[in-house]
Homo-oligomer: A and B are copies of this chain.
């Protein structure tokens, strides 16, 4: 893949695989003699110099770190964003108190990591699933129709959702009092952080403020 008189080294598949294997086995900053060794080995598969090996490990290590850093940032940012999002949703619901989206649900904070774990929708198979077109679809179900594609995939729900974890908040049907965890009443929103902090990486996204989200109600 690399042209003959190319200005910069580009590793062959074999070279790359071996370098990655060495890296994975724990080598990060190889010594001069290690570089010498590796270079000798890899020259079996194509033109290569010591500096290539040296730079390769330097870059690979750096970019590994960078990737990790980015990942953590993203995670953090996501959590904050989701908190904000939930804040807005729940606020909206409490304000409206109509028969609208959250109207029939009771919201209370979910305890994460505590002894009494609440029902979690995510991993339990109960409650929510797809079902293809059965009878009586038009009575209770919501019928999706978007265009002509997938004509046999009209989505109909069979049972209603009863409980749902949503970030740090659990949402459940107000009529369903079977589970015993709902001692708390509606919770207000004092404890949500209203600002987000960022560091120099990933500071491009515009800052979202929840300030005006309830003004127009």
The interface on chain A, measured as residues whose beta carbon lies within 8 A of the other chain's beta carbons, has a size of: 56
Out of B17, B34, B123, which one reaches A82, CB within 8 Å?
A: B17
> CA of A118 to CA of B144 in the docked complex: distance in angstroms?
62
Given contacts A89-B41, A157-B33, contact A51 B142 (CB under 8 A): no
> Are B157 and A82 in contact, with the CB atoms below 8 A?
no
Contacts of A62 in B (CB 8 A): none
Q: Which of A31, A41, A54 has the most CB of B within 10 A?
A: A31
Contacts of A142 in B (CB 8 A): 32-33, 36
The stretch that binds B, out of A18-26, A65-73, A176-184, A190-198, is: A18-26
Given contacts A29-B130, A33-B142, A54-B144, contact A21 B160 (CB under 8 A): no
> CA of A49 to CA of B147 in the docked complex: distance in angstroms?
12
Contacts of A89 in B (CB 8 A): 41, 44
Out of B32, B120, B122, B208, which one reaches A155, CB within 8 Å?
A: B32
- Mask, A99-126, CB within 8 Å of B = 1, is 0010000000000000000001111000
Contacts of A186 in B (CB 8 A): none
> CA of A34 to CA of B164 in the docked complex: distance in angstroms?
9
Q: Whole-angstrom distance from the CB of A68 to the nearest CB of chain B?
A: 17
- Mask, A134-172, CB within 8 Å of B = 1, is 000000011110110000000111001100110100000
20 additional contacts (CB under 8 A) given A44-B85, A44-B88: A13-B205, A17-B78, A20-B78, A21-B82, A25-B165, A25-B167, A26-B121, A27-B122, A31-B128, A31-B129, A31-B130, A31-B157, A32-B141, A32-B155, A33-B157, A33-B160, A37-B164, A41-B89, A44-B89, A54-B146
CB pairs A–B below 8 angstroms (26 shown): A13-B205, A14-B208, A17-B77, A17-B81, A18-B82, A20-B78, A21-B167, A25-B165, A26-B122, A26-B123, A29-B130, A30-B128, A31-B129, A31-B130, A32-B141, A32-B142, A32-B155, A32-B156, A34-B128, A41-B89, A44-B89, A49-B146, A51-B144, A51-B147, A54-B144, A54-B146
